[in-house]
Chains A and B, each alone.
Chain A
Amino acid sequence: MSTPDPKNMKQDCSNKRECLEMLQLILDGEATAEQKEHFLKEHLEECMPCYKNYHLEVAIRQLLKTKCCHEAPQQLVDDIKTKVIQNLSRS
Chain B
Amino acid sequence: MEEFEETPRQHYTEAQKNSIFNNEFMPHINSMYNFAYRLTLDGDDAKDLLQDTYLKAYRFIESFQQGTNAKAWLFRILKNSFINDYRKKSKEPSKVDYQDVETYYNSEDVDRQITPDLRVEALKDMIGDEISNALNSLDVDFKTVIILCDLEGFKYEEMAKILDIPIGTVRSRLHRARNLLKEKLSTYAKQMGYKNA
To the question of whether A and B form a pair in one complex, the answer is yes
Q: Which residues of A contact B (CB under 8 A)?
A: 17, 20-21, 24-25, 28-30, 52, 55-57, 59-61, 63-65, 67-73, 76-77, 79-81, 83-84, 87-88
**B34 with A68: CB separation less than 8 A:** yes
Q: Beyond A56-B118, A56-B120, is A76–B150 a contact (Cβ under 8 Å)?
A: no
Indicate if the CB atoms of B33 and A76 lie closer than 8 Å.
Answer: yes
User: Which residues from A are CB-within-8-Å of B54?
Assistant: 80, 83-84
Q: Which of A21, A64, A84 contacts B151 (CB 8 A)?
A: A64
CB neighbours (8 Å) of A77 from chain B are 26, 29
By a CB distance below 8 angstroms, the chain B residues around A72 are 29-30, 32-34, 50
B174 CB, nearest partner CB in chain A, Å: 7
- In the complex, what residues of A have CB within 8 A of residue B30's CB? 69-72
In contact, B120 and A55 (Cβ under 8 angstroms): yes
B41 at the interface (CB under 8 A from A): no
Q: Is the CB of A88 within 8 A of B14?
A: yes
**B131–A64 contact, CB under 8 A?**
yes
Q: Which residues of B contact A25 (CB under 8 A)?
A: 171
**Contact between B58 and A84, CB atoms less than 8 A apart:** yes
Q: How far is the CA of A79 from the CA of B33 in the complex (A)?
A: 13
A55 to B121, CA, bound (A): 10
Q: Which of A71, A72, A87 has the most CB of B within 10 A?
A: A72
Residues of A within 8 A of B111 (CB): 17
Residues of A within 8 A of B118 (CB): 56
User: How far is the CB of A51 from the nearest CB of chain B, in Å?
Assistant: 11
Contact: B155 with A29, CB < 8 Å?
yes
